[in-house]
Amino acid sequence: MKEGDYMSDNGDIEEVLENVTSITKKKYNHLKDLRCYLAGPIDNAKDDGVTWRREISKWLKRKNVHIFDPCNKSVSHSKYKEVDEEKKKMMALKKSGRYFELSQRMKEIVHFDLRMTDISDFLIVYMDPKVPMFGTIHEFINSLHQRKPTLVVVEGGKKNAANWMFGIMDFNFIFDSFDELKAFLDHIDQGVIEADLSRWVFFDE
C-alpha cells in the first residue's frame, strides 16, 4: 500500500486504518533518528505554544525522533529564545517603539528557526484558525517548497483549514487531531503504509 493510496476521497482516517489488511512481518522503525520541527503560533498563543509541543515531543521521543522545538531550543544564549522573559522583552520593545532593537532580536530568531526547518526531515504544524500566525506560515511554505513531509493538525478539524491549503498541499496530510496524526505516523514507522519516497527519506543504520 502506498502513501497516496491509503486515504479515501474525503481523507477519512477511520477508513484508512480499516483498509489496512496486512502488516509486514519485518520490524520497521522508519522514524528512528529522523529530525522533526514543530511549527505553530507562539506570539499570540496563550501558553506560548508550549503545551502541544511538549505533549507531541514525549510521543516522538519514544519513536527515537530528534525534536526541533522553537519553544525549547537546544542553545544556551538567551537571544535565540522566544518564550517567557525573552518574549516579554520583545513585546516591551514593540510597545515602546524600539523597533530597531526588536528587529535585531527577531532576525536572530527567524534565522535560527528557519535553519531548524531546513535541516528537519519532516514537520508537524499546528494551526488554530482563531490565532494569528505569521512565522508558522513562513515555515510551512518553506517545508512544502523543499518537498518535506509536512503534516498539519488543524484545530477544529480539516473543515476549518483555509481553502488555500487544499490548493498547495495534499489534503490527506491535514489531520483533525493529534491522535489521527499519531496513527498515521505509527503506520509510516511500522511500514504499514509505503511512504512516498519523493518526500520521506529513510537511512539504513
Per-residue pLDDT tens digits for 103-122: 988 898 899 999 999 999 99
Could you report how far apart the first and last alpha carbons of the chain are, in Å?
Answer: 24
pLDDT score for 22: 43
Neighbour count for residue 115 (Cβ, 10 Å) = 12
Instruction: Say which residues have a Cβ less than 8 Å from residue 131's Cβ, sequence separation at least 6.
Output: 41, 44, 45
pTM, two decimals, is 0.83
Q: Is 97 left (phi over 0), alpha (psi -120 to 50) or beta?
A: left
> Across the beta sheet with 150-154, what order do the strands follow?
66-68, 35-39, 122-127, 150-154, 174-175
Mean pLDDT score, 183-192: 93
pLDDT of residue 180 exceeding 80: yes
Q: Percentage of residues in the chain with pLDDT exceeding 70?
A: 83
**Residue 164 domain flag:** yes
CA distance 16 to 185: 13
What's the total number of domains in the chain? Answer: 1
With beta carbons less than 8 A apart as the criterion, state whether 125 and 37 touch: no
**Residue 79 domain flag:** no
**Residue 167 domain flag:** yes
Full domain range(s) for residue 38: 28-73+120-190
* CATH number, domain with residue 133: 3.40.50.450
